[in-house]
Amino acid sequence: MQKTTRKPVNSFFKKIFVEAGTQVANYAIIFLISILIGALVIFLSGKDPIAAYKALWIGAFGNGLKFADTLDRSTVMILAGVAGALAFRTNVTNLGLEGQLYMGAFAAAWVGFSIHGLPSYVHIPLCLIAGCLGGAIWTLPVIYLKLRWNITELVTTLMMNYIGIRFTEYLIAFPFKDPTATLAGSPVLDASARLPKLMQGSTLNIGFIIAIAVAIFVYWFLFKSKTGYEMRMVGLNKDFAAASGIPVNRSYILAMTMSGAIVGLGGAIMITGFFGRFLGSFSSGYGWDGMMIALLAQNHPLGVLPASLFYGALANGALAMQSATGVPQTAVVMVKGSIMFFVTVTVFVPYIRRRLEKWVA
């Protein structure tokens, strides 16, 4: 019975241990199931799953350069993920990240190839701001339809995706067609609009640092500022927030436009940092990735960082896997889909918690 004196401290640590252990074990189960589903699919198509995953790992983290490329891949995913987390946490179902990404990317490209003779320290910020505006403007019809006519953004944002992608395709096919290019794309950006690289031999650029800064800013905004607090209250219970005098409509407008601006910035960084011109269908579903990343991070802006690194690694490693083992890189898409299937599964949690509590006690 000597232990009783230590009990309060002990149980506090036990509590934290059980809480953290539950989270970790829950994610471990989700990842394990998803990776096993991927392995099963690879196995059924007659390939060696272990070799495939090994090639994927080496492709993503094999050496410093590959790791830098993985970080570069995760840049746009961080921004898309933060945009998703901001929207979902404030009860805004923004499924239009993909369209907003395209609009932001095009706006940035436009500023990049049509304005000449600016120094880099003016041209780059202009491009990035244009990207934010492009993404934000694309949410305005959605906001109008929601607030004036009460039409759910679940449907309208999806439609705006298709309209945005087609619209940018039109822009590069007609008004801004580059006559010299073989691919459907805009003219090449001026050198003054290109983001400086961080590392020789890799595509990693300062966009990555900007993305992390945005994630930290959104964390501060949501969790430390008054407006952010109000917006989270709206996310928790809209009617209660309205009854306590929080401007619900303002919260909706802010969340939607900020979300669009952030993912638009992601598009702008892809264009100014990676491609150097706007290309038709350049995004391989980064907007959708952002949504999944936000879910995986439980809509926490800082949780987005590790989740994006994971998704960036999958994207970067997939190509290496395909060329090394012949397993099509779309196998990775199935793993991503499986994670999303199970990420909101809650039945594991109480079970794990009970087991952990019993084990600790």
Partner 1 sequence: MGGIDLSRIFTLSLFATTFRMATPVLFATLGGIFSSQAGIFNVGLEALLNIGAFFAVVGSVNTGSPVGGLLYAVVACVIACLFFSVVHLELKANAIIVGLAMNIFASGMTNYLLVTMLDSTGFYQSDLIIGFKTVEIPFIKDIPVLGDLLSGHFPLVYIAFFSVWLVYLILYKTPFGFHLRSVGENQDAAESVGINPKKMRYLSMILCGVFCGFGGSFLSLSYLTLFSEGMTAGRGWLALAAINFGEAKPVRSLIACLVFGFADALALRLQQFGLPSQVVLMLPYVSTLVVLLGSAIADERKRKALNAKHRSAETALT
Determine if 338 is a binding residue for partner 1 (CB under 8 A).
Answer: yes
Q: Which of 148, 142, 184 is nearest to 163 (CA)?
A: 142
Cα distance between residue 82 and residue 293, in whole Å: 8
Determine if 313 is a binding residue for partner 1 (CB under 8 A).
Answer: no
- The single residue among 41, 65, 216, 242 that binds partner 1, judged by CB under 8 A, is 41
| Shortest spacing between CB 331 and partner 1, in angstroms | 6
Determine if 156 is a binding residue for partner 1 (CB under 8 A).
Answer: yes
- The single residue among 53, 102, 113, 288 that binds partner 1, judged by CB under 8 A, is 288
Indicate the residue among 228 and 312 with the shorter CB distance to partner 1. 312
Spell out, one character per residue from 86 to 105, where the chain touches partner 1: x when CB under 8 A holds, - when not: ---------x----------
DSSP reduced 3-state for 205: strand
Determine if 337 is a binding residue for partner 1 (CB under 8 A).
Answer: yes
Spell out, one character per residue from 226 to 265, where the chain touches partner 1: x when CB under 8 A holds, - when not: ----------------------------------------
Indicate the residue among 144 and 359 with the shorter CB distance to partner 1. 144
Sequential DSSP letters for 83-118: HHHHHHHTT-----HHHHHHHHHHHHHHHHHH--S-
Distant-in-sequence contacts of 314-317, Cβ < 8 A, 24+ apart: 314/56, 314/60, 315/73, 315/77, 315/284, 315/289, 316/59, 316/60, 316/66, 316/69, 316/70, 316/73, 317/55, 317/56, 317/57, 317/58, 317/59, 317/60, 317/61, 317/70
- The single residue among 57, 181, 285, 302 that binds partner 1, judged by CB under 8 A, is 285
| Shortest spacing between CB 145 and partner 1, in angstroms | 6
- The single residue among 10, 114, 152, 244 that binds partner 1, judged by CB under 8 A, is 152
- The single residue among 295, 297, 305, 320 that binds partner 1, judged by CB under 8 A, is 295
Range list of β-strands (E), 173-302:
none
Indicate the residue among 46 and 119 with the shorter CB distance to partner 1. 46
260: how many CB neighbours lie within 10 A of its CB?
33
Determine if 323 is a binding residue for partner 1 (CB under 8 A).
Answer: no
What are the φ/ψ torsions at residue 279 (nearest 5 degrees)?
Answer: -115, 140
Determine if 342 is a binding residue for partner 1 (CB under 8 A).
Answer: yes
Spell out, one character per residue from 163 to 202, where the chain touches partner 1: x when CB under 8 A holds, - when not: x--xx-xx--xx----------------------------
120: how many CB neighbours lie within 10 A of its CB?
14
User: Burial letters for 221-249: b for 16+ Cβ neighbours within 10 Å, e otherwise?
Assistant: bbeeeeebebbbbbbeebeebeeeebebe
Indicate the residue among 121 and 174 with the shorter CB distance to partner 1. 174
182: how many CB neighbours lie within 10 A of its CB?
6
- The single residue among 225, 330, 354, 359 that binds partner 1, judged by CB under 8 A, is 330
Angstrom distances, CA of residue 68 to CA of 190, 230, 307 = 25, 38, 16
Residues that bind partner 1 (CB under 8 A): 41, 45-46, 95, 141, 145, 149-152, 154-156, 158-160, 162-163, 166-167, 169-170, 173-174, 285, 288, 291-292, 295, 328, 330-334, 336-347
